[in-house]
C-alpha cells in the first residue's frame, strides 16, 4: 500500500521538488473555496462536520492521558466545548512514539513520503471542516482560514515533504566503491540508511494552528521520527483533526498510529516545557512568543530547535509612483486578519518632511489620511470588513490596541480603531487597525512588537535615517518581513543591501495584488533564520537536513 | 581573478559533487608521497621548509594579539620553538572577521568556491611541509601524516566545499513567479541571496590538526563566514600554515585577509570558551574531548555547534572464514598511530566459549594470541614499527596505557605493550598496543573511552549478549565506528540492524586492505551525528545547510 501511495503521489512530489528548485509558481491544492472547484455541497458539509464536533469528546486516545480538557472559545463569541484527552504522562507519550519508529524507519524515504502525501490528500478532503476549525480558533475570516489554514498550509506541508525527500534521497541506497591499487582494486559495497533523530515535538500557535505547525510536523514525520503535537490550548481542533488523519493513514498503511499523538493540556500544565527537555526529544518546532522561543533555544540543547518568534516588521517609505495604490496596499496589509499575522507590517519609517508621490509631496499626516481613506473603502461596511479583519484572537491583542490609543500613551493616534459589529456573530470581537504617529526618538515604543492591529508611522530626518533605523532595529529585534516604497533605484538598492545585512526578506513597491504579509509556498521563503525573529525558514535545506542522520555499512565484494 | 579561479577549478568541483552523490571512489589529491608522483625534490624541500620554521616567529599578524606563544613539542622528542602571536583580545578578533564579510558575501557562491579550492591547491603545493608539521605535532608517522594530514585532509576539505556549494546553488539567483489569475497573471521577479551566519570558530585537536579542522573551516568560509581558527596548543603549525595560505589567497583575490585568523594561546588562556560564547560567533566546529564538547553544545546556544567527541568503538567477533586475516586486520587497526585515532576500535566483544574460525574454535585467549602474533609481524622490528605506530601524542595517553597494564587494574593483560626505540629520534615516545581481557561484568571499565593503544577483549555469554552490549554501550556512550566478524548472514543482519539503532557506521568482515578506522572522503561518512560521540558528520547536508541563510527580495515586473 505504501509503495502504491508513493506511485500515486509521485507526479505531485516531482512537481513540488521542481518548484522548490525553480522557485516558480506552483500550488498543489486549489485556494478557491468556490463550489465550481470543490463542488456544491462541500462548504455546507464541511461546516456541518465542524459543528458536529462542538460539545463532544474528540475521539483520540492519547497515551497516558488523564481526564479531558476543553479550552477553546471562538473569537466569534462562543465556546467550542470540544473535549480532548488531557496529556499528563510525558513518559507514556515518549514511549508510545518510540515504539513504532523502527518499522517507520525501515520503510524508507519513498514509502514515508507516500504516506505523508496521502495524509495531505485526506486532510484536503476535509479542508472545509478544517477551515471552519481554523476560523473558530484563530479568528481568521472564513476565506482566509480556507486559504491560509487549508490550501496554503497543505502547500507548505508538501513543500516540507518535498525538501526532506530530496535531502534523504541525495545519497544512494547502495554504492560500489572501487579504489585503484597496484593489482586488483579494493572493492567495497556500501549501504546507506536514513535513520530518524528521535521524538519530535511540535508546539502550535493560536493564530495559525495548521500553517505554522504542518511544515515541522511533516518534515519530522517523513524523515522517520515520531511526532508529539502540542497545540495551543486556544487552537486545538485543527490539530486534533490533523492528528486523527495522520493516525488513520499510518494505521491503514500498517504502521503504529502512535507515531503521531496529540498532547492537549490546560494552559497551567506547562506540558511544552516538560516535553521539550526530555532527552528522547531531538527535534522541536515552535511558533509563538519570544520569551518561550528564546527559552527553548537556550535550554532544549539536546534537541535541534526550530523557532518562529516575533519581530518588528518594517516598511520604509521614500517615494511612490502611485500614492493611492500604496496606501491601499498598506491598508490591506494592516487590516488583513486584524494585523495578527507574524508577517504584518508594524513600523513605517518616512521622512518628517514627507514623501514625493504622483499626487505631490505627502507629509506623515497625509500618508496616515491616505491609509485612513483606504481603510474606509476596505472596512467602511461592517459586513465586508469582517471578511477581511476576522476576529480578535485574544484579550492580549485588545489590551495592546486599547493602550496604543489611550490618553498618556506615546504618539498621536492618526487613524483610530473602530469596533465592527459582525452581521452573523453578535458576540464576535472585531476591530479595525489604529495608526499611531511617532518620531525616530520613540525607539522604546517601536522597537517592541505590538502584536495586533497597531501600526506606527515613524517620522525620520530622511530616508537615510529610515534605512539606518530599519537595519539596526531588525538586527536587534528581528523581523519576518520588510518593504520599501521608492521610485529611486539608489534607494531600492540601499534597501536591498540593508535587508541582506539585516537578514530579512524585502518586498519592493507592492502596488497591486501581492501584500507584504503573504508568502507563497515553493517560491517565497518564510522567515530567514538570519535575524532574531526566527532561527529557521520555511523551507530551506537547513529546515530538513538535521531531522535525520545517515548510517552506513560496508563490506568487501 | 575569482571567476577565473572558479573556471579553473570547475571540473574538479563537478567531479567532487558527482562523487558525493554517487558515493563511488574519488580522490582529487594523490595520497602517495612517492617521487614519481610529486617529483624527486618535493620531499626534501618540504622537510627543509618545515625545519626552517623551527625556532622562528611565524609571520602572522593576529588582530589584538599581545606577545607570542611557543607551545609545541614533537612526540619525536624536540621542541618546535615556533612562536605565534598570542591572541588576547576577542573583540579585536571578532571585529576583524566581520569587517571583510560584506564583500565576501557579495562575491557569491561561485567566486567563494573558486577562492577556497585555490586555497586547497596552494596547500597541496606545500603538502610535504604540512606533512612534516602534522608529524611533529600529532606524532603520526610520516606517511600517515602525508596521507591523513595532507592528501586525505584536502579531499575532506574539497568534499565540504562541494557539499556547501551544492547547497548554496540549489536555489536560483533569480526567479520569475507568475500566479495565474482571472485576467493577467500576478508577476513577480524574485532575487535570492546567500548570506553568512557571522563569525565561525574552529577549534582544532592535537591528533588530526588538519583532517579534523579543514572540513569545518572550509564549509564555513565558502558559505561566506569569517573564520577564527583556534588550534590545539600542541598542534599549531599545521593550522598556522593553513591560515597563512588562506590569507594569502584571499588578499590576492581582493578580499580582506582577516576573514581567516589564527588564535594561538597558552593553554591556560581558555580562549576557546570565551570566543565560543561571543554573540557574533554563530558557527562552532570542535574536535576533542567530551567534557568541552558537551559544554559547547549546552552553552554556546547562540551558535550552531558541530562536535566530534569521543566514544567506545566496538567490534563484535562471532566467527570468521580467515582467522589469520582477521587478527592481522584488527592488529593493524589497534596499532595504526598507536590507537590514537577517534576511529580506532577499543571494545572487542566475543563469546567466552570462543569463536568458530577456519582454524577451529578460538577462545578469547587464543584470539589475543592471534592478535599478538600479528603485532609481532607488524611491529616486531623497531624500524618498521615506528612507521605504523608513530609517536605517543601526549602524557595522558602514556598514563592510561600504564594504568591499563598495572597491578591492581581490572582485567588481565593478554598482550603487553612494548617500548619501541625510534631509529632516527632517540627521544621519541613509541609504544605498541596492549590487549586487556575483561568480562561483560566489567562495564565500568569498558564503557569509558581509554584513548590510546589499549583494546579490551570482552568475554560475553555469546554473540547475542555481544550485540546487546554493542547496541546499549554505543547508544549511551557513543562510537565513531563499529565492526563485525561473522560468517552467519543472520548475525551480520542483526548487527546491521543494531548499528542502525545505535546510529553508528558498521564495517563487516574486513579481512583485506581496508581497516575499520579508515573512512574515505566522498564515500564514507565520518561520524553520524546519531550517537553521543558526535553531533555531526563529514559530510552530509546537515553539516553545511545551516552555515548560511537565504534572503530574498521581490518586485512586480
For residue A188, the chain B residue with the least C-alpha distance is: B514
Helical pair A152-168 and A2-22, crossing angle rounded to 10 deg: 100
User: If pLDDT is split at 50, 70 and 90, which confidence band does A408 have?
Assistant: confident
For residue A299, the chain B residue with the least C-alpha distance is: B298
Could B178 and A24 be called an inter-chain contact, meaning their C-beta atoms sit closer than 8 Å?
yes
For residue B476, the chain A residue with the least C-alpha distance is: A279
pLDDT at B1 over 70: no
Sort out which chain B residues have CB atoms less than 8 A from A503's CB and list them: 195, 549, 551
Shortest alpha-carbon distance between residue A304 and chain B (Å): 9
Give the count of Cβ contacts less than 8 A between chain A and B.
192
Is there a contact between B179 and B104 (Cβ–Cβ < 8 Å)? no
- Residue A106 belongs to what H/E stretch? helix A101-125
Model pLDDT for residues A217-233, shown as the tens digit of each residue? 999 999 999 999 999 99
pLDDT at B407 over 80: no
Model pLDDT for residues A50-71, shown as the tens digit of each residue? 999 999 999 999 999 999 999 9
pLDDT at B294 over 90: yes
Which of B541, B543, B545 to mutate: most A Cβ within 10 Å? B541
Looking at chain A, the whole-number percentage of residues with pLDDT higher than 70 is: 100
Model pLDDT for residues B411-466, shown as the tens digit of each residue? 999 999 999 999 999 999 999 999 999 999 999 999 988 899 999 999 999 999 99
Model pLDDT for residues B489-503, shown as the tens digit of each residue? 999 999 999 999 999
pLDDT at B203 over 70: yes
Q: CA–CA separation, B274 vs B262, rounded Å?
A: 15
For residue A194, the chain B residue with the least C-alpha distance is: B500
pLDDT at A445 over 90: yes
Query: At residue B87, what are phi and psi to the nearest 5 degrees?
Result: -75, 125
Shortest alpha-carbon distance between residue B86 and chain A (Å): 31
Sort out which chain B residues have CB atoms less than 8 A from A195's CB and list them: 500, 503, 528, 530
Shortest alpha-carbon distance between residue A434 and chain B (Å): 27
Percent helix, strand, coil in chain A (nearest 5)? 45, 20, 35
- Specify the 3-state DSSP secondary structure of A85: strand
Whole-model pTM: value is 0.97
Could B545 and A550 be called an inter-chain contact, meaning their C-beta atoms sit closer than 8 Å?
no
Model pLDDT for residues A171-200, shown as the tens digit of each residue? 999 999 999 988 899 999 999 999 999 999
Could B186 and A513 be called an inter-chain contact, meaning their C-beta atoms sit closer than 8 Å?
yes
Query: Per the structure block, which three cell numbers stand in for A124?
Result: 484536503
Is there a contact between B288 and B201 (Cβ–Cβ < 8 Å)? no
Sort out which chain B residues have CB atoms less than 8 A from A180's CB and list them: 25
Percent helix, strand, coil in chain B (nearest 5)? 45, 20, 35
For residue A101, the chain B residue with the least C-alpha distance is: B501
Sort out which chain A residues have CB atoms less than 8 A from B22's CB and list them: 172, 175
Q: CA–CA separation, B285 vs B538, rounded Å?
A: 11
- As a whole number, mean pLDDT of residues A241-254 equals 98
Which of A308, A551, A555 to mutate: most B Cβ within 10 Å? A551
Is there a contact between A22 and A168 (Cβ–Cβ < 8 Å)? no
Positive or negative: CA dihedral B315, B320, B323, B328: negative
User: What pLDDT is recorded for position A1?
Assistant: 64
Could B23 and A186 be called an inter-chain contact, meaning their C-beta atoms sit closer than 8 Å?
no
Could B541 and A545 be called an inter-chain contact, meaning their C-beta atoms sit closer than 8 Å?
yes
Shortest alpha-carbon distance between residue B501 and chain A (Å): 8
Could A546 and B542 be called an inter-chain contact, meaning their C-beta atoms sit closer than 8 Å?
yes
Could A528 and B509 be called an inter-chain contact, meaning their C-beta atoms sit closer than 8 Å?
no
Could A496 and B179 be called an inter-chain contact, meaning their C-beta atoms sit closer than 8 Å?
no
Of B23, B180, B505, the CB nearest to A172: B23
Which of A34, A104, A553 to mutate: most B Cβ within 10 Å? A553
Give B147's DSSP letter.
I
Could A553 and B192 be called an inter-chain contact, meaning their C-beta atoms sit closer than 8 Å?
no
Amino acid at each position: 500500500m505504501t509503495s502504491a501511495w508513493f506511485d500515486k503521489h509521485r507526479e505531485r512530489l516531482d512537481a513540488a521538488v521542481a518548484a522548490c528548485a525553480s522557485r516558480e509558481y506552483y500550488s498543489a491544492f486549489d485556494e478557491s473555496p468556490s463550489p465550481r472547484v470543490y463542488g456544491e455541497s462541500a462548504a455546507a458539509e464541511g461546516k456541518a462536520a465542524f459543528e458536529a464536533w462542538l460539545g463532544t469528546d474528540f475521539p483520540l486516545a492519547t497515551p497516558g492521558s488523564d481526564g479531558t480538557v476543553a479550552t477553546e472559545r471562538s473569537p466569534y463569541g462562543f465556546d467550542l466545548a470540544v473535549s480532548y484527552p488531557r496529556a499528563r504522562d510525558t513518559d507514556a507519550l515518549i514511549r508510545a512514539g518510540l515504539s513504532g519508529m523502527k518499522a517507520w524507519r525501515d520503510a524508507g524515504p519513498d514509502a514515508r513520503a507516500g504516506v505523508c502525501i496521502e495524509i495531505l490528500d485526506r486532510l484536503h478532503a476535509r479542508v472545509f471542516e478544517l477551515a471552519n476549525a481554523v476560523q473558530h480558533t484563530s479568528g481568521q475570516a472564513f476565506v482566509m482560514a480556507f486559504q491560509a489554514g487549508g490550501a496554503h498550509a497543505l502547500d507548505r506541508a508538501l513543500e516540507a515533504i518535498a525538501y526532506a525527500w530530496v535531502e534523504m534521497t541525495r545519497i544512494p541506497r547502495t554504492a560500489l566503491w572501487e579504489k585503484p591499487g597496484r593489482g586488483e582494486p579494493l572493492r567495497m559495497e556500501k549501504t546507506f540508511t536514513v535513520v530518524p533523530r528521535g521524538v519530535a515535538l511540535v508546539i502550535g500557535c493560536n493564530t495559525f494552528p495548521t500553517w505554522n505547525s504542518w511544515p515541522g510536523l511533516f518534515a519530522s514525520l517523513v524523515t522517520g521520527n515520531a511526532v508529539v503535537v502540542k497545540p495551543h490550548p486556544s487552537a486545538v481542533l485543527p490539530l486534533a483533526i490533523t492528528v486523527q488523519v495522520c493516525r488513520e493513514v499510518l494505521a491503514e498503511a500498517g504502521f503504529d498510529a502512535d507515531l503521531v499523538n496529540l498532547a492537549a493540556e490546560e494552559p497551567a500544565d506547562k506540558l511544552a516545557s516538560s516535553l521539550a527537555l526530555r532527552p528522547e526529544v531531538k527535534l522541536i518546532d515552535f511558533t509563538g512568543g519570544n520569551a518561550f522561543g528564546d527559552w527553548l533555544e537556550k535550554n532544549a540543547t539536546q534537541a535541534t530547535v526550530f523557532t518562529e518568534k516575533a519581530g518588528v516588521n518594517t516598511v520604509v517609505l521614500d517615494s511612490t509612483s502611485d500614492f493611492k495604490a500604496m496606501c491601499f496596499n498598506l491598508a490591506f496589509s494592516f487590516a488583513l486578519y486584524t494585523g495578527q499575522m507574524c508577517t504584518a507590517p508594524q513600523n513605517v519609517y518616512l521622512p518628517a518632511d514627507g514623501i514625493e508621490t504622483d499626487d505631490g509631496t505627502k507629509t506623515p499626516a497625509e500618508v496616515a489620511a491616505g491609509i485612513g481613506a483606504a481603510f474606509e473603502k476596505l472596512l467602511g461596511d461592517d459586513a465586508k470588513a469582517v471578511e477581511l479583519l476576522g476576529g480578535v484572537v485574544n484579550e492580549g491583542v485588545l489590551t495592546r490596541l486599547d493602550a496604543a490609543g489611550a490618553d498618556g500613551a506615546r504618539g498621536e493616534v492618526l487613524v483610530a480603531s473602530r469596533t465592527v459589529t459582525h452581521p452573523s456573530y453578535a458576540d464576535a470581537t472585531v476591530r479595525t487597525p489604529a495608526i499611531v504617529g511617532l518620531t525616530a526618538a520613540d525607539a522604546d515604543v517601536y522597537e517592541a512588537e505590538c502584536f495586533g492591529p497597531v501600526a506606527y508611522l515613524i517620522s525620520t530626518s530622511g530616508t537615510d535615517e529610515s534605512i539606518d533605523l530599519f537595519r539596526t532595529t531588525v538586527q536587534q529585534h528581528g523581523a519576518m518581513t520588510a518593504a520599501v516604497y521608492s521610485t529611486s533605484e539608489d534607494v531600492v538598492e540601499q534597501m536591498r543591501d540593508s535587508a541582506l545585512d539585516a537578514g530579512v526578506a524585502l518586498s519592493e513597491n507592492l502596488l497591486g495584488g501581492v501584500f507584504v504579509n503573504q508568502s507563497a509556498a515553493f517560491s517565497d521563503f518564510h522567515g530567514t533564520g538570519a535575524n532574531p525573529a526566527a532561527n529557521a525558514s520555511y523551507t530551506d535545506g537547513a529546515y530538513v537536513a538535521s531531522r535525520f542522520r545517515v548510517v552506513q555499512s560496508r563490506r568487501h565484494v
